[in-house]
Structure 1
């Protein structure tokens, strides 16, 4: 099973961000940069970068790729991607001449916001949002409002732009109708000590997901009964222990399917499953397609190579 092009995402460097591609020119913006482009466009490719990006699709339908997530998009599709999270949107219904405007995007850095939040308590409200963005967030029901805020940001600068941007961040931070795209995420709750122990277990599971371990073993590691561990684990991750481990292993399998040519049977064992039938069943349950279909569809994330 050979491939003639690399499977990994491309790192986007700042020096390629030309106004000819839709970027605001250097020196015309501060912390928040506005971008808009059509399709096809060289920017449409499987890539990642150091900044957050808030993408709003205004025209066309097609397939979206965020980390190991594969889904469909249409006008109004609103997604926040975090630093170094690979992503791409491939339009599949464009006319032969293409479309002049498909995406409107805001791009902003991580460090300055976190540093500002240390001295400005009000900004701390957005920190959980930034953590969730590591996995990609799709928002529902707020696209029209966000589009209006995009317009105000596009036509403003300096303090006015930053004020409009913090308003937008507030809307995103308060939006409860969303889903994480690429993997599961720890949720905060009252018992900080228990959460810290569960967080340690999640780190352990993540590091050793390909090995065999039981919930009883992990309970002993943190000194919790199985019933208490199950209750807190479900509250912290939104998943049962078994579902969480399966999702973690399937996510790792997705990465190997996208970035290697290893046989699917070998990948099954590489990620910690000891039964191919169970692996295929869990994969279908979590991803809505078989591993073979996932690998075939994942090839489309490079579709812009031909379109650009």
Structure 2
């Protein structure tokens, strides 16, 4: 079976290019100099779609609630949701409010090039703190208790130019780099490859595993689907995702378990089997290993953080 048969076409992220960044959609003029691009938009808009781009993106939700998709992560968002995504990390925010509702300002967005920051960070000691932030952004970062500070900074960035604008941007990055109340979202660095063919291949594998994570399968069976030997696939998968195959599947299953614990009242033992584990003790052990708490504690903390379950 080819990779094309593993992938569902409508799940592939659209690659965003400058040609699609029109003023009418809320973008700044493309001819403006600099490596920052500010964007704000409401809904409905064609910008709400599963997509990726070469730039990092800081995304603040101003209004509405709904579902957030970053890489292989699925969760809820509400006003104040603040996420930083790295290059080529697919994402989308889908509001669940009334389909006919018109919102004039839902998103405040800042896109910026990663390369200049990495180059400067290697030479300028004051920028060293930004480099770990950029690494974390490869998984997507959700920040907590930073929305007001960020919104004020984005307003200043929007209204400034040149060095003043970049100075505001660097001060905001510094605040985000020093923030300790955050969580990483996606279990896979889906932007690990620079060329489109390799990115499409690992994205296809990840899509297949995500869709079938609750089923029972072996690494050998998945390797056969993509025309590799088991040893070839093991090396390829580790290099592409930074995880062993077993660890990655466990993380997918625990991620899904987290969603069920947040969104349903199902018994924890039932959640264990729903997500693909066949042993409750192993489920509890893996959950503690990945999340640093028991499933019961996670459910209690999730209820405290998100309020009523959606």
TM-score (norm 1): 0.64
- Superposed, 1:260-279 pairs within 5 Å as 264-266=215-217, 270=222
Equivalent residue for 1:71, pick from 56, 72, 75: 75
The residue aligned with 2:172 is 168
- Superposed, 1:69-108 pairs within 5 Å as 69-94=73-98, 96-108=100-112
Take 1:282 and 1:57, find their aligned partners in 2: how far apart are those partners? 26
- Residues 141-197 of structure 1: per-residue CA shift (max 9 Å, x gap): 111011100110010010000000000000000000000001289xxxxxxxxxxxx
- Superposed, 1:107-122 pairs within 5 Å as 107-122=111-126
Take 1:266 and 1:31, find their aligned partners in 2: how far apart are those partners? 45
Equivalent residue for 1:255, pick from 198, 207, 220: 207
- Superposed, 1:188-267 pairs within 5 Å as 255-257=207-209, 264-266=215-217
Q: Which runs of 5+ in 1 are unaligned?
A: 186-250, 293-308
Whether the aligned pair in 1 keeps the contact of 2:214 and 2:253 (CA below 8 Å) is no
Take 1:2 and 1:115, find their aligned partners in 2: how far apart are those partners? 38
**C-alpha displacement of 1:284:** 5.0
Whether the aligned pair in 1 keeps the contact of 2:253 and 2:275 (CA below 8 Å) is no
TM-score (norm 2): 0.63
* 3-state SS of paired residue (2:12): coil
- Residues 206-258 of structure 1: per-residue CA shift (max 9 Å, x gap): xxxxxxxxxxxxxxxxxxxxxxxxxxxxxxxxxxxxxxxxxxxxx99863155
**C-alpha displacement of 1:28:** 2.2
The residue aligned with 2:42 is 38
Q: 1:265 to 1:115 in 2, by over 3 A?
A: same
Q: 1:2 to 1:123 in 2, by over 3 A?
A: closer
Q: 1:10 to 1:264 in 2, by over 3 A?
A: farther
Whether the aligned pair in 1 keeps the contact of 2:54 and 2:88 (CA below 8 Å) is yes
The residue aligned with 1:177 is 181
Q: Which has the higher contact order (CA 8 A, sep 6+)?
A: 1
Take 2:31 and 2:126, find their aligned partners in 1: how far apart are those partners? 28
**C-alpha displacement of 1:112:** 1.1
Whether the aligned pair in 1 keeps the contact of 2:66 and 2:93 (CA below 8 Å) is yes
